[in-house]
């Protein structure tokens, strides 16, 4: 099943708290869900790129880090607006995720701290909705 099909023809709403309104990245993240994007760190292939450190995550929050079986669009994107920060939901200042040692991060990326869509987010959305390839993505 393609992930965006579940949203077709169904009205969606999003509730933003005042704290969300202080950061446009939060708003873009939530709107990303509305158009069918899942969290990047929950991709079925994420174990090739990151390790989830479950012992550092409170048990009631661990489901936020479980892989979700869905169709994959594009390559794993550390710069995605849909990626959590490495310390998100971590307990006692321990990271909730770690980048695997064999993975090279794009230069200057601050995982999970984006305030705008990455090129990968644009490309995945275009691919999901079969939009013509944009000049922006070439």
**CB pairs under 8 A, 24+ apart, for 29-35?**
29/81, 29/82, 32/81, 32/82, 32/121, 33/82, 34/7, 35/4, 35/7, 35/125, 35/128, 35/129
Active site residue 30: yes
Q: Single out the catalytic residue among 30, 79, 92, 107.
A: 30
SS3 string, 20-86, reads: HHHCHHHHHHHHHHHCCCCCHHHCCCHHHCEEECHHHCCHHHHHHHCCCCCCCCCCCCCCCCCCCCC
What residues act catalytically?
A: 30
């Amino acid at each position: 099943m393609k992930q965006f099909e579940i949203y077709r023809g169904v009205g969606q709403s999003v509730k933003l708290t005042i704290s969300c309104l202080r950061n446009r990245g939060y708003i873009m993240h939530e709107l990303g869900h509305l158009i069918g994007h899942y969290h990047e760190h929950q991709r079925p292939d994420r174990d090739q790129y990151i390790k989830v450190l479950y012992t550092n995550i409170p048990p009631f929050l661990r489901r936020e880090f479980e892989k979700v079986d869905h169709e994959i669009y594009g390559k794993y994107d550390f710069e995605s607006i849909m990626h959590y920060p490495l310390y998100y939901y971590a307990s006692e200042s321990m990271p909730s995720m770690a980048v695997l040692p064999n993975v090279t991060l794009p230069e200057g990326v601050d995982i999970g701290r984006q305030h705008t869509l990455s090129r990968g987010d644009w490309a995945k959305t275009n691919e999901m909705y079969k939009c013509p390839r944009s000049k922006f993505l070439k």
